[in-house]
Amino acid sequence: MAAYDDNNIFAKILRGDIPCHKCDEDEFTLSFHDIAPQAPVHVLVIPKGRYVDYTDFASHASAAEIAGFAKAIQRVAEKTGISETGYRIISNIGVNGHQEVPHLHMHVIGGAPTGPMLSKQG
């Protein structure tokens, strides 16, 4: 696993160096609207701790951080109105998962049908 990069864009957002359109925040998480949304609702939920990906988080986060992260996803779904109609939660991990930012983040996507999870390959 790669080392945590304190200069990744989400670390800069957490420090306040880069602004975001906040959706939710508590002691463990920050949630904000994606700048290039892939659906009518597209919010990123990130832990405030220095975690590269979900594997790092599950291995090193406290029980309170893990619970806080799960509850933040649920709050975002309720605040954005997608908890009633359904939504998708996605976390990209590593090269094969196409992770672009080396800070754990969950994409909470909804507000319209999201289509199949993966395209079928012949």
The token duo for 55 is 């594997």
33 is catalytic: no
Catalytic residue among 21, 42, 103, 105: 105
> Could you give the CA distance from residue 29 to residue 31 in angstroms, rounded to a whole number?
7
Is 34 within 8 Å of 103 (Cβ atoms)? no
By CB atoms closer than 10 A (0-12, 13-18, 19+), residue 20 is buried
By CB atoms closer than 10 A (0-12, 13-18, 19+), residue 96 is exposed
Strand-pairing partners, residue 35, are none
* Catalytic residue list: 105
